[in-house]
Amino acid sequence: MEIAKLVVAAAFGLLPTLIWLVFFLREDAKPEPGREVLKFFLLGGFMAASSAILIEFWLKGVFVKFNIAEFSILGLLVFALIEETTKFLSARVLLRRDKYFREPIDGMIYLITVGLGFAAIENFFELAGSALSAIPDLVILRFIGATLLHAIASGFVGYYWMRGRALRGLFVATLIHTSFNWLVLGFPGLPIYPSIILVVAAIFLLRDFDIIKTIKEKIIA
């Protein structure tokens, strides 16, 4: 039964990330080879998630030592910054050696792909730790919530990175990530509030896609 549950958690953890991946890949008129997308999704997502897990595990001990609540604004801000930074650094490492990187939108797409790979791992652990009967509802919530959050936040980092302003991208992504988590925790049972954050952010991200498509010069800062 336990093995079956892990298989279900893995399958349903992947499902929402793959749906959003297909959605965002359609923004690129010259899509990258499938093997490259898979590399960023699997390897980039694993690099980012494993790094974030190790850092966050260490920080939890620091928080306890200094009596800082993990789910305080400060705690949420720090953990959001860690996750956005590890996704960015993982994409940066992989992208510098990618021969298919031709235009700025590629960097934006690849970072979103890493973000969704990160979300897939996060989804797996969330679903694996839940009752089997609760998995369908959790998948729906994560599809319109945390999974989309990672894609959007990474998209902003990718956009500003390709404009030579990576730090601004990390600031925007961390702010969105922190606000979303704070609203989820502050208003349990009222998903409308964090959903509003994602809808507004998605509108701006789609605008950024339109802008990045007009830029040909690649800048990696």
Three-state secondary structure call for residue 219? strand
Number of domains in the chain: 1
Answer whether residue 220 is part of any domain: no
Q: Which helix (H) or strand (E) holds 65?
A: helix 45-65
**8-state DSSP, 32:** P
Going by pLDDT thresholds of 50, 70 and 90, the confidence category of residue 221 is low
pLDDT, tens digit, 9 for 90 and up, residues 3-12: 888 999 999 9
Query: CA distances (Å), 64 to each of 17, 53, 74, in order?
Result: 33, 17, 13
pLDDT, tens digit, 9 for 90 and up, residues 136-154: 888 988 999 999 999 999 9
Answer whether residue 218 is part of any domain: no
Answer whether residue 107 is part of any domain: yes
pLDDT, tens digit, 9 for 90 and up, residues 49-72: 999 999 999 999 999 999 999 899
Nearest to 76 by CA among 186, 155, 166, 159: 186
Task: Report pLDDT for 99.
Answer: 83
Answer whether residue 46 is part of any domain: yes
Task: Report pLDDT for 127.
Answer: 94
Domain that includes residue 103, residue range: 2-212
CA-to-CA distance for 150 and 123, rounded, in angstroms? 11
pLDDT, tens digit, 9 for 90 and up, residues 90-132: 999 998 878 888 899 999 999 999 999 999 999 999 999 888 8
Nearest to 191 by CA among 201, 181, 200, 178: 181
pLDDT at 220 over 90: no
Answer with the residue of higher pLDDT: 220 or 28.
28
Answer whether residue 221 is part of any domain: no
Q: What are phi and psi of 80, to 5 degrees?
A: -65, -45
Q: Can you name the residues that pair with 163 across neighbouring β-strands?
A: 219
Answer whether residue 84 is part of any domain: yes
Answer whether residue 176 is part of any domain: yes
Q: Tell the burial category of 32 from Cβ atoms under 10 Å away from its Cβ (0-12, 13-18, 19+).
A: buried
Task: Report pLDDT for 218.
Answer: 60
Task: Report pLDDT for 175.
Answer: 98
pLDDT at 74 over 60: yes
Mean pLDDT of 214-218: 76
What does the block give as tokens for 187?
């208003």
Going by pLDDT thresholds of 50, 70 and 90, the confidence category of residue 15 is very high
Contact 118, 88 (CB under 8 A): no
Task: Report pLDDT for 188.
Answer: 85
How many Cα atoms sit within 13 Å of 137 on the Cβ side?
A: 5
Q: In whole numbers, what is the pLDDT of the chain averaged over residues?
A: 93
Answer whether residue 40 is part of any domain: yes
How many Cα atoms sit within 13 Å of 119 on the Cβ side?
A: 31
